[in-house]
Amino acid sequence: HYSFFPGRPRWPPTKYHLTYEFLPNTHADAKAPVTRAFATWARHTHFKFSLATNSRRADLKIGFYRGNHGDGYPFDGSGGTLAHAFTPTDGRVHFDSTEKWVVGAVRGRFDLETVALHEIGHLLGLGHSRVKNAIMYPTIESGSTKGLNADDIEGIEVLY
């Protein structure tokens, strides 16, 4: 079953419309799968997500980095850590740019949309789940894709 971070950090319940931005180092091919991951969370929760207009600062900031990138959590090259996200209301999510990202189930590779679904769960305040089919389960096999599970949605409903 779902879990939360220590202290149960969450977005203020009145702030359910979150904006996101892709930092300039985001590869063009990465935007569509991450955008679909936001749409999936929006379909199943009370959250709304929209691309930030350049006039205002986004709530959620998506970036791709390699190795040491200044936040104390260096990436480790291809394999190992794929991505990490900070707890609410920080809003940063980082993907390891040295991974061979793919869209869909490709043998030996990780599906960017699936990993984005998992990281958005962290951005919203979900920790890891003990339910194997939950997107917040702490491991995934390469070459597979996953969607949201009732356990993930229940976690958000309980937190908010």
The beta strand positions in the chain, using DSSP E, are: 17-22, 48-51, 60-65, 83-85, 92-96
**Can residue 76 be called a binding residue for Zn ion (CB under 5 A)?**
no
- DSSP category for residue 150: H
In the complex with Ca ion, which residue's Cβ is closer, 19 or 81? Answer: 81
- How far CA 12 is from CA of 95, 113, 125, 142, 160, in Å, comes to 26, 26, 11, 35, 9
- 152: helix, coil or strand? helix
- Binder to ligand TQI among 140, 142, 154, 160 (CB under 6 A)? 140
Q: How many CB atoms lie within 10 A of CB 78?
A: 11
In the complex with Ca ion, which residue's Cβ is closer, 29 or 76? Answer: 76
- Binder to ligand TQI among 58, 115, 126, 159 (CB under 6 A)? 115
Residue 94 binding partner per list Zn ion, ligand TQI, Ca ion, none, with a CB distance cut-off of 5 to 8 Å that depends on partner kind: Zn ion
**119 in active site:** yes
Q: Edge-to-edge strand order for the sheet containing 83-85?
A: 48-51, 17-22, 60-65, 92-96, 83-85
Give the Cα-Cα-Cα angle 14, 15, 16 (nearest 5 degrees): 100
**Can residue 84 be called a binding residue for ligand TQI (CB under 6 A)?**
yes
Q: Give the Cα separation of 72 and 91 in Å (integer).
A: 16
**Catalytic, out of 21, 99, 113, 119:** 119
Residue 1 binding partner per list Zn ion, Ca ion, ligand TQI, none, with a CB distance cut-off of 5 to 8 Å that depends on partner kind: none
Contact mark string toward Ca ion, 116..155, x via CB under 5 A: ----------------------------------------
Q: Which residues would be at the binding site for ligand TQI (CB under 6 A)?
A: 81-84, 114-115, 118-119, 122, 127, 137-140
Active site residue ranges: 119
